[in-house]
Every structure is written in C-alpha cells, then in structure tokens.
Structure 1
C-alpha cells in the first residue's frame, strides 16, 4: 500500500498568502469548490503561474469583468 502524498503549502501568486492546495484530491482542492466563469479561468491561466488561494478566487469571481480592464482586455484578445 502506498503512503498518501504529503502537500506543502503553496504561495498564491496574486496575494502571496500561503494556502494548502491538493490538486489530486478534488474534494480538498479549493478550485473545485467554486464555480469559476470561463472568462475568469482564462484570465487566471494566462496571468498567473500556479493556483490562487480561495480568497483571491472569490475576489476575481465576484469582481465584474467590466471593472477590471486588464481582465476584459486579455479575454477579448485571447478569444479572437
């Protein structure tokens, strides 16, 4: 029987906070607990290296795209 993998804290590339990310255990991965709109997911993927913490995910999901010019611009540019 294999030992479960241990996970060290990750650092959020957006806010620099430490948080625990378990991408191989979907029930314990923060990303799976959010309904992330495709435009926000695309922005995260093209802007950051790695996972964002739950606080930053919440902020980006709740922030209207129109109030974030960089998000709006990046999404339009990448979808063409």
Structure 2
C-alpha cells in the first residue's frame, strides 16, 4: 500500500491527501474525535473524510448530544 494517496471526500467531494502509511502526518490526525463520534461517522460513511468535514461532523455530533441532554 502506498504511503499516501489522493482521495475524494465522500461528503464534500473535494480531493485531499491521505497518508495512511504515516497517520500522524495525515490531515485527519488533527481532528480528535471520541470513539462514539468515530463510530457514528463510520455508520454514515464507508471511507475516510477530509479533516474539514470530520470537524464539521464532530461539531454537529456534539451539538446534537448537548441538545439531547437538555
């Protein structure tokens, strides 16, 4: 498997570089999702997303969680 590849985000359709061979250098590494958030995202999408979409989903998931607690 190559150390990196260009992928298209399933959510926004923009291209991004995935560094599966060096995850700490990958664009998604900066988004620190909880286990529950990651599992929810995996139910909705079957491949990696760009960091911008991951961050948007994380914000959405956390807002929904806060609303459900009220």
The interval holding the TM-score normalised by the smaller chain is 0.7 to 0.9
Partner of 1:56: 53
Q: Which moved more, 1:32-41 or 1:50-59?
A: 32-41
TM-score, reference length from structure 2: 0.73
Aligned residues: 64
Ranges of 4+ aligned residues in structure 1 off by more than 4 Å: none
Runs of 5+ unmatched residues, structure 1:
73-80
TM-score, reference length from structure 1: 0.65
Greater strand percent: which structure?
2
Aligned CA-pair RMSD: 2.1
Greater helix percent: which structure?
2
Kindly report which structure 2 residues correspond to 1:36-55, keeping only aligned pairs within 5 A, or say none: 36-55=33-52
The structure that has the greater radius of gyration is 1
Runs of 5+ unmatched residues, structure 2:
none
Report the secondary structure of 1:20's partner residue: strand
Partner of 1:65: 64
Alpha-carbon distance in 2 for matches of 1:16, 1:36:
21
